[in-house]
Amino acid sequence: MIRALPFLLLASAAAIAQDDVPTFHVDTREVALHVSVVDKEGKLITGIPQTAFKVFENNVEQHIKAFAEDDIPVSMGIVIDNSGSMREKKASVNEASLGLVKASNPQDEVFIIGFNDSAYLDQDFTSNIKLLEQALDKTETRGGTAMRDAIHLALDHMKKFAKRDKKVLLVITDGADNNSDESLEQLVRESRQSGVLIYSIGLLSEEEASERRSAQRGLKALAEASGGLDYYPKSLADVEKITPQVAEEIRKQYLIAYTPANSALDGTYRKIEVRLTGYGRNPNVRYRNGYYATPDAQSSTPLAPPSKSSATK
């Protein structure tokens, strides 16, 4: 899976090491996209050269300045529904969450946020699987579903404390939000500007039709805004099959970066389109589909160089 994440990079040109992970800062304002390409069976297509990709912003073709296909470590947040309805699902969801971490890059850093009537940080960034397991086991299931507030908290925590260049959230919930102050519209904009890929697993088979539609609408909007993907397994047993797929996609995404031909920070929405030629019939190319050209989209997040970004422990 690949996420398209356009965000602005303003930094001095210098190679740096962050926890022994080489990175490279660029001089100019760039939009960075993390792109996933899958065939009609949903299998990831790897090994595609830069020449096969074209990028358009507001229908104007952009010059690709950087391109890479590398397994780089990420900062990851796992956002888990701990409302009362999750009680019987808790063990399977916890196991699937740990499965995601175990299948991911060993240099990933992970935090856990739980939510019911409110959202709370259960475990700060760590690479220690034992600490993550303990945090998952100690949570209690009760109350309602403040999912949007939890995702808002996760994005804010990521912005303040994440050390890795690439950032991902996985959200697991079994119902529609019924207790958040944050609106869906606010959260979609925040997600689009954050540069964080959002994947979600909606365990919605037991929900009433109207509640199920409401929950799906929210999860799908966040996935499309960020370049992630939303899943709706038919049974609890399928959840543990999904998280390794998410991990694989995160590790096999393409990075495409360009400097917008229109450099004005005028607050307008910039629609992004990535086109691919020569690789199967109608491959699914997934990426963040736009951003707002405002100063709050600026980031000092570095781009990882193709020759060095795949370092692992």
DSSP state of 301: P
The model's confidence at residue 295, banded by pLDDT at 50, 70 and 90, is confident
Entry field: residues in the chain: 313
In the predicted structure, residue 306 carries a pLDDT above the cut 90: no
In the predicted structure, residue 308 carries a pLDDT above the cut 80: no
pLDDT of 279 reads 81
| C-alpha pair distances (Å), 179 with each of 51, 147, 299 | 47, 8, 31
24 has which bridge partners?
15, 303
pLDDT of 294 reads 86
Summarize the confidence of residues 127-140 as an average pLDDT.
93
Output the pTM of the full model: 0.85
Of residues 17 and 28, more confidence is placed in: 28
In the predicted structure, residue 128 carries a pLDDT above the cut 70: yes
Summarize the confidence of residues 228-238 as an average pLDDT.
94
Cβ-proximal residues to 299 (8 Å cutoff; 6+ apart), any chain: 7, 8, 9, 10, 195
pLDDT of 310 reads 31
Of residues 312 and 69, more confidence is placed in: 69
In the predicted structure, residue 68 carries a pLDDT above the cut 60: yes
- Which amino acid is located at 25 in the chain? H
- Mean pLDDT taken over the chain: 86
Burial readout 73-98 (b: 16 or more C-beta within 10 A, e: otherwise): bbbbbbbbbbbebbeebbebbbebbb
pLDDT of 207 reads 87
**CA nearest neighbour of 40 among 282, 271, 252, 266:** 282
pLDDT of 278 reads 84
CA distance 179 to 81: 12
Q: Which domains does the chain have, with CATH numbers?
A: 77-250 (3.40.50.410)
| C-alpha pair distances (Å), 280 with each of 33, 40, 48, 196, 272 | 22, 9, 11, 29, 22
Half-sphere exposure of 202 (CA within 13 A, CB side): 25
Tokens coding 187: 């959260």
CA distance 119 to 171: 13
In the predicted structure, residue 309 carries a pLDDT above the cut 80: no
The model's confidence at residue 165, banded by pLDDT at 50, 70 and 90, is confident
CA distance 60 to 271: 10
Q: What is the pLDDT of residues 187-214, one digit of tens each?
A: 999 998 888 999 999 999 888 999 999 9
Summarize the confidence of residues 67-94 as an average pLDDT.
95
Helix (H, G, I), strand (E, B) or coil at 90: helix
